[in-house]
């Protein structure tokens, strides 16, 4: 299979590409070509693909998914698209939603149009549980109405609806995954786990939003990538699959674990004003992907989190590269290309 991976230099996309090319996990034959298209925004980094850079099956194209000419030239010859490229950070979407609508809606639309035009076999759109909004108790099934609260989540929900419309209207084999919060190595230190870990390792305080009672389900990036591969290889056209990690924690509980792993105490925590529109709890029901495709998370959160902290400890040069300004102190930094 020849696969075009968008956003393959980002956190999850690069894990997916590395696992496609190095692990025998899949049920189908190994891919014969993996083309990564990535704009290398502040969140994308070629070093994330260093482990597979020498693999002759990997092609890297620096480019924007909004560039219809580029996508038209790239897509023919591929059997599948796995679409990770996105603006992905909620705080940035609150500061300015424009890039989110551009990439997460119009960029996806560019890909969908090209997919129809060139008769692509399968299109996997990687989405998020945030499209469902917030749930005080219980879990969302895939049929739950979408009720996104942040501009990021709204742009992803728009993308989901657009992708499904291409299935219903044009017969494109679209499959959607909606996962919970990912963690693991190579995550840009703007998301809570790498942000807290890198700040703690540097002796700084960490900013905990509001009362710290917000609840998230944590999913190791290895488990997420395995789920996406299952959907790519054995999912059904037009279907949505929730992907959960099985570890629900309040942000306060998560902070306690990170403090313990970094040898720090609660004096290093700053309680800061809550994020506007902050969803209280996310929880996906992932029984569909379990019963249809045999998915279950394999990574224990305790081990996965300890390994993640150890990775940030050992890879300072990866996260000490110049970063856009910290959203904790300023949300106005422009994106930086590298
Ligand atoms: P990321 O921000 O680490 O990576 C995004 C990648 O997309 C980067 O490499 C960036 O350069 C690239 N990109 C951005 N705009 C682009 C454009 N216009 N054209 C081409 N490339 C572009 O994100 P991530 O955490 O790896 O998330 C990947 C996908 O998973 C996203 O669609 C996100 O919505 C979804 N998701 C992530 C999480 C999570 O916890 N990280 C949870 C649920 C869903």
pLDDT tier for residue 64 given thresholds of 50, 70 and 90: very high
Shortest-distance atom of ligand 1 to CA 65: 19
Residues 191 and 205: their CA atoms lie apart, in Å, by 15
Question: Does 85 contact ligand 1 (Cβ within 6 A)?
Answer: yes
For range 154-166, the mean pLDDT:
98
> Residue 28 pLDDT > 90, yes or no?
no
> Residue 326 pLDDT > 50, yes or no?
no
pLDDT tier for residue 330 given thresholds of 50, 70 and 90: very low
> Residue 87 pLDDT > 90, yes or no?
yes
* pLDDT attached to residue 277: 87
**Cβ(269)–Cβ(208) under 8 Å?**
yes
Residues 25 and 212: their CA atoms lie apart, in Å, by 37
Shortest-distance atom of ligand 1 to CA 45: 9
**Cβ(284)–Cβ(101) under 8 Å?**
no
Paired strand residues for 3: 34, 80
User: How far does the centroid of ligand 1 lie from the alpha carbon of residue 229, in Å?
Assistant: 17
Residues 12 and 316: their CA atoms lie apart, in Å, by 19
* pLDDT attached to residue 338: 25
Residues 266 and 154: their CA atoms lie apart, in Å, by 34
* pLDDT attached to residue 272: 92
Question: Does 103 contact ligand 1 (Cβ within 6 A)?
Answer: yes
Please write the tens of the pLDDT for every residue from 88-133. Answer: 999 999 999 999 999 999 999 999 999 999 999 999 999 999 999 9
Please write the tens of the pLDDT for every residue from 271-325. Answer: 999 889 898 999 999 999 999 999 999 999 999 999 999 999 999 999 997 654 4
Report percent pLDDT > 70 for the chain: 94
Question: Does 7 contact ligand 1 (Cβ within 6 A)?
Answer: yes
Residues 95 and 220: their CA atoms lie apart, in Å, by 28
For range 165-181, the mean pLDDT:
98
> Residue 81 pLDDT > 90, yes or no?
yes
User: How far does the centroid of ligand 1 lie from the alpha carbon of residue 224, in Å?
Assistant: 14
Residues 109 and 143: their CA atoms lie apart, in Å, by 23
* pLDDT attached to residue 332: 31
Residue 203 has a CB neighbour count (10 Å cut-off) of: 9
pTM greater than 0.85: yes
* pLDDT attached to residue 323: 53
User: How far does the centroid of ligand 1 lie from the alpha carbon of residue 7, in Å?
Assistant: 6
pLDDT tier for residue 23 given thresholds of 50, 70 and 90: confident
Question: Does 64 contact ligand 1 (Cβ within 6 A)?
Answer: yes
Backbone angles phi, psi at 284, to 5 degrees: -100, 140
> Residue 74 pLDDT > 90, yes or no?
yes
Q: What is the DSSP letter of 263?
A: T
Mean pLDDT (the chain, rounded): 93
239: annotated active-site residue? no
> Residue 328 pLDDT > 90, yes or no?
no
> Residue 333 pLDDT > 50, yes or no?
no
Residue from 42, 132, 152, 183 carrying the catalytic annotation = 152
Residues 171 and 173: their CA atoms lie apart, in Å, by 6
Write down all domains in the chain, each with its CATH number in brackets: 2-185+219-246+282-298 (3.40.50.720)
3-state class (DSSP) for residue 1: coil
**Cβ(205)–Cβ(253) under 8 Å?**
no
Comparing C-alpha atoms, which of 48, 59, 47, 39 is closest to residue 11?
48
Report percent pLDDT > 90 for the chain: 90
Shortest-distance atom of ligand 1 to CA 42: 11
Comparing C-alpha atoms, which of 202, 185, 203, 181 is closest to residue 297?
181
């Amino acid at each position: 299979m020849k696969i075009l991976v968008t956003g393959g230099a980002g956190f999850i996309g690069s894990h997916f590409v590395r696992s496609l090319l190095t692990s025998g996990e899949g049920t189908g034959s190994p891919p014969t070509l993996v083309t990564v298209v990535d704009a290398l925004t502040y969140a994308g980094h070629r070093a994330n693909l260093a482990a597979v850079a020498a693999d002759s099956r990997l092609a890297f194209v620096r480019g924007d998914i909004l560039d219809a000419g580029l996508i038209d030239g790239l897509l023919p010859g591929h059997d599948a698209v796995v679409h990770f490229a996105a603006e992905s950070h909620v705080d940035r979407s609150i500061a300015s939603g424009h890039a989110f609508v551009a990439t997460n809606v119009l960029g996806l639309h560019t890909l969908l149009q090209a997919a129809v035009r060139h008769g692509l076999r399968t299109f996997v759109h990687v989405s998020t549980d945030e499209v469902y909004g917030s749930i005080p108790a219980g879990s969302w099934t895939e049929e739950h109405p979408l009720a996104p609260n942040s501009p990021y989540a709204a742009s992803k929900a728009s993308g989901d609806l657009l992708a499904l419309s291409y299935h219903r209207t044009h017969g494109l084999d679209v499959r959607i995954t909606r996962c919970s919060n990912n963690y693991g190595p190579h995550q840009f230190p703007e998301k809570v786990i790498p942000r807290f870990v890198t700040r703690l390792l540097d002796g700084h305080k960490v900013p905990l939003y509001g009362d710290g009672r917000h609840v998230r389900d944590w999913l190791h990036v290895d488990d997420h990538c395995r789920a996406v591969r299952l959907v790519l290889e054995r999912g059904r056209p037009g279907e949505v699959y929730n992907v959960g990690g099985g570890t629900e924690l309040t942000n306060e509980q998560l902070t306690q674990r990170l403090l313990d792993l970094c040898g720090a105490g609660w004096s290093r925590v700053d309680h800061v004003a809550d994020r506007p529109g902050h969803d209280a709890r996310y929880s996906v029901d992932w029984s569909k992907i379990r019963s249809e495709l045999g998915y279950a998370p394999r990574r224990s959160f305790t081990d996965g989190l300890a390994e993640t902290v150890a990775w940030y400890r050992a890879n300072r040069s990866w996260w000490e590269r110049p970063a856009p300004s910290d959203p904790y102190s300023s949300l106005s930094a422009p994106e930086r290309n590298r």
